[in-house]
Amino acid sequence: MTTKSILDLSKNIVLMLIAASMLGACGGGGSASSLYHAPSQPVVTGNIPTPPPSAALATMTLKGAPGFINAIGHTVYVFDADLGNPGHSACNGDCAANWPPVAPPAGKTLVAPFSSITRDDGSKQLTFAGRPLYTFIVDQGPGQTSGDGINAFGGLWHIARPH
């Protein structure tokens, strides 16, 4: 096997594990057809909240508590593996392809606890209280929280929440 085919195989395995963990979170109600239903996701109607002037992100009630959302209403996450090396992202390569880093807002001065870091690829990433912030490619609409509680790429993922 070539290195490329090994990497492709590894990527497919990781994607299958993510999908399997999400299906497991759906519950096991008994019938086989229940395995193929995506988790119920909220439908946001009306305007997506905008951040106040002093904040880089808006908040929305996500799973019963305020959580950060980006400009198009997608849930923002933190990664427990980042705790091992503060001020640095542990999510690169395939991880970042599935959990895209949140870029700092253009033309806005960041006010603490928001800040930014420089990633391994030289791009900037928004942080909150020193923790790098991400979205999740499975979330396709405002307020969806498919990534919360997933254990992937070496750590747990959680909704990013204000203090």
- φ/ψ (deg, to 5) at 65: -145, 160
Torsion of CA 92, 115, 104, 157, to 10 degrees: 40
User: Mind listing the pLDDT tens digit for each residue in 97-150?
Assistant: 999 999 999 888 999 999 999 999 999 999 999 999 999 999 999 999 999 999
CB 88 within 8 A of CB 99: no
Could you tell me the pLDDT band of residue 28, with boundaries at 50, 70 and 90?
very low
Whole-model pTM: value is 0.73
Q: What is the mean pLDDT of residues 21-30?
A: 40
**pLDDT for 4:** 45
State yes or no: pLDDT of 22 exceeds 70. Answer: no
Place of tokens 């305020």: 66
